[in-house]
Each structure stands twice: as C-alpha cells, then as structure tokens.
Structure 1
Amino acid sequence: MSEPMRVMIVEDNEALAQTTGWLVEMLGYDYRLALSGKAALEQVGDYHPHVMMLDLGLPGISGYDLCRMLRQRPELADTVFIAQTGWSEAEHRRQSAEAGFHHHLVKPLALEKLEMVLGEIAKAKA
C-alpha cells in the first residue's frame, strides 16, 4: 500500500478522539475524526477508510448499530471494524462480534495493542 492506511475514529469524547488520532498518526497512519454516528455516516463516503474504530456507547446511534449500517455499504466491504469501548465483559464482546466488528479493544487503549492490531491490518492490506 503506497499511501498511508486511512483510519476513521468515531468517538463522542472529543479529547479522547483526538488523543487516539494522534496515536494512529504516530504509528504512521492517516486518520479522520467523527464525533457522532451521524457525522461518521456523512464523512465515510468521502474518506473511504481502511479501518473504522467505533466507540460502542455513542449517543443517538450506538456503535453496534453504526457498524451494522456501515457493513451494508458495498464500498466498505474491505474495511476492518474495531470496537473501542470501556465495556470489556464477555456479553459486550459477543454483541460486538454479532454486529460485525473484527476486533474489540478496551479503553483506555494500550499503544502496544493498537500498534499490533493496526500493524496486522496494514500488513494484510499490503
């Protein structure tokens, strides 16, 4: 992949969204922030992300529902979906898998874990 991998971060906590963006950028990837599910739906067509990191506890449209909606879009067929949440219980992991997420990361995100997951995705897409 000659261009940097594109990562869309959907998180309603603006400070956390920006911090996650900086981590993604530090790892060598491009990122775009969306502070709501609605904003993500509006921006995703222009950005064509390789990876979408979705907070599960979004107001309005939950991260689960947002993932289901986005997975129906043909242009996102190869996009990897990552749940990023404070919810670590087995039930939440089951629900995120059922919604179509490929990965379930618990906040606060450990840089090493984020680097490993994004690195594997980038390698698979190369």
Structure 2
Amino acid sequence: MNPDDRLKVVKREGKKLSNKATMLPVKDIKGFDTETKNGKSKVVYKTAHGEYIDEVRIEQTVELLCQLENFTRVDRGSVVNLDAIEEIDEIKHKVYLDKMRKICLDIAAVHIDLVRELFNKRRKRK
C-alpha cells in the first residue's frame, strides 16, 4: 500500500451512511477506530472532512496501513497516522489529531512509549 492509494468507503452523514461509495485517499486519513453494531465490527476512518465507514475486516486494514512508515497501531482496533498527531495525552490515554482536540483516538498504555518515540522521530525530520 502507498500513501497515494485509495480505499473504498461510505461517508457517514450524521447517524446515517451515504448511499454512495467513495474512494478515500489514504493520505487524508488522520486515524481510525472501530465500532460494533449487532455483533459486527466496522472501521471508522477519521478525516478533516468527516468520518467514513469501511466494512472490511479490521485486522486486514490494520496490517495494510501499518505497512506504511507513518501509520502505527495505538490500540487493539485503532491505528494512527503519525503525521496527523497534534498531541499525546499520556494521562487520559488519548492521541489528539487536531489542535482543537475534537478528533482523537484512545491509546493503550502498552503502545504509549513506542508511539511517542515514533512521533518525536517524525517531528525531528520535518
């Protein structure tokens, strides 16, 4: 997978999903987490333009994105784009993806040290 690749998804419009599929550029993904309804888990991509839903198996998506240098796992069903991190809150176990702290992902304690290290390395390169 490359940053220029696209994923087939459906945009969330409030509590409903759009009837049309769209191709979401991987580079637009700030992170993703999962939600479960009726025993079925779905990937919810978070972008600056809203949330998009992918019904592909979660582990397939995690493995695919984590092949890229700038994506890493932050929790069991969550992956973050290291370039999109604005802040890591080690007390609340959150990774904030915007300056207003509205877009965030939970981060498992076991992943905090690695994510902080990778985040700091990427910031130094910029």
Same fold by TM-score, threshold 0.5 exceeded? no
Relative contact order higher in (CA < 8 Å, ≥ 6 apart): 1
TM-score of the superposed pair, with normalisation by structure 2: 0.29
Larger radius of gyration: 2
Name the structure with the higher helix share: 1
Say which structure is richer in strand.
2
TM-score normalised according to structure 1 size:
0.29
